[in-house]
Structure 1
């Protein structure tokens, strides 16, 4: 009897126990966006079509920086100065040598004129006359060479001042005070305030639909403008892209701005939705799919077909609508119907 009572008591406890609640798994989700062909969008940086790179011709140690980014400058204005002590010494020495040799050459010219007059009067020998003539010529050549060296020293001194080639605005200044720069190093970029352009690359299939003169839509942080295709590269790169150059016709896009170029404005709208490429899963032997989070916090596996993929994401067709919460990553480790805690993340 006691044993039967104990068994009945344990059975009663077992019947009263409840299953543990299902633990919701945290997943990162994004909102599916309206469909837009990702191959129809390229990203580029706005630059001035009249941007001039100002490089150091001789190089040296930067002693003075006279302008900063954003400064308005005039053609010929000094932007920076190198340490010029060595160049000043060379110029002083070369100038002194040129002056000394010029004086010697002048003296030898006068001597040759005198010897020439004596020779006409048969007062000196031919050898004395020839020696005076050779002496005058050699000293004149030496004086001319010294003057050339002085001119070169003057040029080197002038090059210790870095000047703007155009009127414009300083767009970049990659050097710092006391830097030692090599000849040819770009020290400033001066924007001539002319037309702006975007030079970028895009999938070759999309670029094949373009032609010079075509008007394209530009976008940046909600603002829009227009651009005109001015140049299309012929070479296809290893990643199947081609270069394009677009001149900005309208829109407030300052040099340095990052803009989207809609390459085929009449073909951007499509059926389906745009989701992160990492959201699309395709386990072996199964169709492609994405997981969406339902209103009750559970996962729903939705079969999709992949129409295109690019930098903007994956364009999918199926029962996915703009605004649906799509699992952004790690979907391969999830199961249909699982309870989840969605965390919205940036695209």
Structure 2
């Protein structure tokens, strides 16, 4: 069953210059109301509610978000991650991974059981946070829930968007970090210069393959639709396959968010739009809304998981079967 959702509307609002209160979410997550000025933040005149989540200026390490060049031990690890990712993510590798993991023959469990598994996962590609992933899922979901109280499918999408990171665990194949996390990009066409640490693609076997680089379309065609484009393999595409193959009733916008939330070259830099169709353009509006919360809600502040758990269990029951094949 497909659920249709209306296109998001952005309501213009002038921020009260005297307002200094913090935003307190249901799980106990407090967000500063200071307006961020770094690139990619939503400006106050484009916000959507009276208690909107406003992007902070700095991440948990005291740096601007998605800062890939700042000198730190974590940044060195992040760059090494992208070096390996860009060398090994080839068209043939992606095809092999999709064929293997779409079998969904590894584990049978519920959505919440998978959420709890993420307590064992830390994302080496993330320059903004090194906390267990379940914290990030709930921070994102609670921030969206505050601003979009009537879009329960969006709350659940936020909760589950990173569940594919269980691919790092032994029971799911124990894939290396470069094959699970990080920004994603299309394969089978040129690697755009906006991709983080683009310089490392020179050692990718596809980099000089004329079949993939004869034009900006590679093996694809104008307006072919992202559904028909292979993306670098990782947790996005895997969770999309899990949700779709298990018969979720999430709307197409939710599935689009899950599948492309790490596709920063598209939703941050605006490249690869020549491969999109009309449905992609409509869904991209929701993805851009989601991205604000996915990126800027990351914090060292701990949530009261047990307090919010009943609400998310009710959404899981609404949109998913009790047990899923993974």
Query: What is the TM-score of this pair, normalised by structure 1?
Result: 0.16
Greater strand proportion: 1
Query: What is the TM-score of this pair, normalised by structure 2?
Result: 0.17
Greater helix proportion: 2
* Structure showing greater Rg: 1
